[in-house]
Chains A and B, each alone.
Chain A
């Protein structure tokens, strides 16, 4: 009971502070600069047990006769066949992908001083964890396996599991003359 009372009191007292929300002027805003950047951790799972489709071709991963991975098909010519990334499934996870703006004016074997500009720096996560990541590269006559006259040639499949080392920074900046 005491707790609730003090809570209510707190609310009343806070209310009486009358702090006003004030719009920030353009000039003021221009002086604000982002400092920390962004730190991202990711855990992405694709079709671990199977996708949403269930038909003659797609199904649950527990069903050995069905494909349970995702499928991406793309075409480079109208009325032509399709390049396919098929049976995409697995889990990727990483920790410590960073994003920030950085000013480069030294280093790079002397290139930095002449460069003297801001770049967008993507800090790679050092290690990317793959858990049973699988995909098949194929060529196919139709975009969907349910299409008429579907024929597909699987060229190769890749299976990845474990840690992949990916260290360093990717620097992105505009080139050419604006």
Chain B
């Protein structure tokens, strides 16, 4: 009898079968130390100010959602902190992740104030990623500075040909949505270099000084629903403003913006558009092209051009319900596995094995194949 008792050794944390499968993780954050990041800032004037203590912010700032959870802001480091390639490999080993697509996790940068200083941090982050990840053989999503489309294009042109740069990383946010025509040069550059655009959430960003934003007091509201609403608006904005008619080869990946709203969008966008499509012709891209309508139904762009990271999955416990949701969400075509390491909402690839909702094919497509269709890896 004694022989049937074994100590559980080893590092494995994911189900055994996960280690036999190929797993690509679309959202793995690394977090350089501030001093090491600043060493990469090229502009001395920017560096001087980046090392100067700022005073109080001039406008009311929202609490970051993490204040509300057990470890507070530490939730951003629940699993630890990856600074270099070997840290990423150590973190991925127990979770059965084969190919993490790392990004510089400076997710508060987009909402900071000064565009010149932000560009300096962006340049430094991208060069840090080149040195510590791309050159070490870890696939990397380069930072795309949304606040400055010209600079975004020059960064894409500077870095996109590096082997190992496999995507652009930016944010959906409460500022100018990505359907705006000012981003056309960015889309053009991304398509030229065959890079998908990953759009991630950052901080709590219901518009400042709004009744709704001011009364969001819980982590569940802010992180659970503020982000998906902004992600949803971003996706619809891009589709209805004709981004994908102009850039049919552009792939957009929504990260941490939720994914179960895909069925809602599929049916509601088409219903509304087919009822009253008259205003499409007076959107700027259509004014320029002279077209009256979108080239296809809105849901078709959603299906072909937009992808969704799965974390946090919020998978129904009931496998039948989960399977229905996966079907309606076209998960086998549109979902991409992501872990969000090292944050408080980490999703190891467990549910793909513990829930009966996944057949072999759907699991494979979500865990690796859909990602490999849009990434050059």
The answer to whether A and B come from one shared complex is: no
